[in-house]
Amino acid sequence: MAVKVRIPAPLQRLTQGLGEVEAGPGTIIGLVNDLDKKFPGIGERISEAGKIRRFVNVYVNEEDIRFLKAEGTEVKDGDEVSIVPAIAGGC
Amino acid sequence: MSYVKGLKCRECNREYPVEPVYVCEFCFGPLEVIYDYNGIKKVLTKEVIEKRGQNLWRYRELLPIDGEPQVGLQSGYTPLLKADNLSRELGVKELYVKDDTVAHPTLSFKDRVVAVALTKAREFGFDTVACASTGNLAHSVSAQGAKAGFKRFIFIPATLEASKIVASLVYEPNLIAVDGNYDEVNRLCSEIANKYRWAFVNINIRPFYAEGSKTHGFEIIEQLGWKAPDNIVVPCASGSLLTKIWKSLKEFKEIGIIHDVQTRIFAAQATGCSPISTAIKQGTDVIRPVKPNTIAKSLAIGNPADGFYATQAVNESGGYGEDVSDPEIIEAIKLLARTEGIFSETAGGVTVAATKKLIESGRIARDEVTVVCITGNGLKTQEALHGQTISPYYIKPNLASFEEVLNKMKNVK
């Protein structure tokens, strides 16, 4: 078992077209770094200077990490992480 | 002919061709339509606009379509009403209501954005349109998509008001009611949009869709006699409408239709979901998401995609943000109805209540010209007023019974 990570379309070119990949447990920012080792370049697309980019939303088991411990949120084996660009709606 | 030069990332300025893409592939920043303003300046004048039909396509050079308008041919150009009774009540000199409660065909400002989005979807060759919606967008995509002959998938939070659900179902789209709040519906839709080649109006058509909101601002200026007001109060959910109204003012200046923009833009939110007005009040551009809890469901977006830009627009214009409680929203809906004869949905209650507070706190000066944006019709959210209105008088079907009541009313007044 590992952490399941859902990859949005704009980043799938970096994951050989995969919409779902696996990463090791740890903090969210650690997970991003781990992904970057497997899929070089993906790290700087999601984060900048150790922070998740403004228009990237990250969810752990469907909860926005900004309601958890942000970049320091811990994920463990079996957790599901979604990376989703912000989108519009309402007024 | 089109005056669109392409798309550009608002964050990192990377440029993209005109395609159904919605975020910068590099940094996920939102993409913005860029125009050839020098070209537009030569053809789009006040005189040209005034000769055109009374719909939003009168500003078509500033909208991101290539060919002829194909959807929403009668949308837009709603009344700008001089609200003398409400001005008196609030103690200001000049107040106007931009009244999208009577937007065609589905009674909210979403008819503007959907007209543009579906025209663009057709240009791109899509046969299916979709959206994530808190109600108004669902109605407009369902209705306008029906007329234009698109297949339609509409995703809504299952907790929406019953009347709002019926107002989509009647157009017979595929309506998917999701067990979750709007942010969760949106997140699901962005995953669905990855997988299916559909025109999601607020996802992969978003850069084009959002441009339709500018027409709300263009009309305010035109209907004031080609003048920008001192203040505009805008309800905020994602912050998109506010951002686009600010853009509309700047574009009219850019092409020489107005000479100066001194307008202050104010963001109105419900206290139960106020990430944008909170950021403005705290003087930060970091938008902290919230879990919405308000009767203003059409504004209940806890994670506003354009919140950052809305905050910037408000600050740049010298405006402010204000939030109001649910009882204040109800009171303001009733105030607008009894003074101006306009029945607004809860979002309009937010706008009017916030305007009242901004006037009382001196943020909006009493001798200035202020426009409040009323974006949707109250018939859609009647549940919010159950038990909150006055009551009818019940009588027998005879004159004596009526006059008995009439006498009681006289005694009361």
State whether residue B308 sits within 8 Å of chain A by CB. Answer: yes
Preferred mutation among B25, B26, B28 to probe A, highest tally of A CBs within 10 A: B28
Report whether B351 contacts B268 (CB < 8 A). yes
Which of the residue ranges A1-5, A14-18, A41-45, B3-7 has the most confident prediction, judged by mean pLDDT?
B3-7
Location of structure tokens 């740890």: A26
Q: In what order do the strands lie in the sheet with B4-9?
A: B15-16, B4-9, B31-35
| In a domain? residue A38 | yes
Report whether B29 contacts B23 (CB < 8 A). yes
Pairwise CA distance, residues B234 & B276, whole Å: 12
Pairwise CA distance, residues B102 & B36, whole Å: 32
Report whether A26 contacts A8 (CB < 8 A). no
Per residue in A23-81, pLDDT (tens digit) is 999 999 999 999 999 999 999 999 998 999 988 889 999 888 988 998 999 999 999 99
How many domains is chain A built from? 1
8-state DSSP, A23: E
User: What CATH number does residue A46 fall under?
Assistant: 3.10.20.30
| Helix, coil or strand: residue A13 | coil
Cis geometry, peptide bond prior to residue B105 (ω within 30 degrees of 0): yes
Report whether A11 contacts A83 (CB < 8 A). yes
pLDDT in tens, chain B (413 residues): 789 999 999 989 999 999 998 888 888 888 999 999 999 999 999 999 999 999 999 999 999 999 999 999 999 999 999 999 999 999 999 999 999 999 999 999 999 999 999 999 999 999 999 998 878 999 999 999 999 999 999 999 888 777 788 999 999 999 999 998 777 888 788 889 878 999 999 889 999 999 999 999 999 999 999 999 999 999 999 999 999 999 999 999 999 999 999 999 999 999 999 999 999 999 998 899 999 999 998 898 888 989 999 999 999 999 999 999 999 999 999 999 999 999 999 999 999 999 999 999 999 999 999 999 999 999 988 989 999 999 999 999 999 999 999 998 887 65
What predicted TM-score, i.e. pTM, was given to this entire model?
A: 0.94
State whether residue B27 sits within 8 Å of chain A by CB. Answer: yes
| In a domain? residue A59 | yes
State whether residue A89 sits within 8 Å of chain B by CB. Answer: yes
Amino acid at B198: W
Strands A26-27, A74-75: parallel, antiparallel or unpaired by DSSP? Answer: antiparallel
- From A10, which residue of chain B is nearest by alpha-carbon distance? B25
Report whether A21 contacts A58 (CB < 8 A). no
Backbone phi, psi, residue B282, to 5° = -85, -5
ipTM of the predicted structure? 0.82
More confident residue, A33 or A86: A33
Pairwise CA distance, residues B245 & A20, whole Å: 39
**pLDDT confidence bin for A89, thresholds 50/70/90:** low
pLDDT, residue A1, reads 72
Contact A88 B209 (CB under 8 A): yes
% residues pLDDT > 90 (chain B): 83
Contact partners, residue B234, CB within 8 Å, separation at least 6? A91, B241, B242, B245, B265, B266, B267, B268, B351, B373
More confident residue, B169 or A85: B169
Closest CA to B256 of B113, B46, B27, B6: B46
Neighbours of A50 (CB within 10 A): 9
Amino acid at B293: N
Provide the chain B residues 315-334 that lie in CB contact (below 8 A) with chain A: none
pLDDT, residue B276, reads 98
Contact B240 A90 (CB under 8 A): yes
pLDDT at A90 over 90: no
Provide the chain B residues 237-296 that lie in CB contact (below 8 A) with chain A: 237-238, 240-242, 288-289, 291
Nearest CB to B210: which of A13, A19, A88?
A: A88
| In a domain? residue A91 | no
8-state DSSP, A46: H
Plot region of A80 (φ>0 → left; ψ -120 to 50 → alpha; else → beta) = beta
| In a domain? residue A51 | yes
| In a domain? residue A8 | yes
| In a domain? residue A90 | no
All domains of chain B, ordered by start, with CATH? 80-106+210-385 (3.40.50.1100)
Closest CA to B208 of B114, B309, B78, B283: B114
pLDDT, residue B190, reads 81
Contact A91 B28 (CB under 8 A): no
The range of the structural domain enclosing residue A20 comes to 3-85
Plot region of A41 (φ>0 → left; ψ -120 to 50 → alpha; else → beta) = left
- In degrees, rounded to 5, the angle at the alpha carbon of residue B298 between the alpha carbons of residues B276 and B220 is 75
Kindly tell me the number of DSSP H helices and DSSP E strands found in chain B.
15, 13
Report whether B74 contacts B83 (CB < 8 A). no
| In a domain? residue A31 | yes
Contact partners, residue A68, CB within 8 Å, separation at least 6? A60
Closest CA to B200 of B288, B130, B250, B257: B130
CA-based nearest distance B94→chain A, Å: 25
pLDDT, residue B313, reads 98
Contact B202 A88 (CB under 8 A): yes
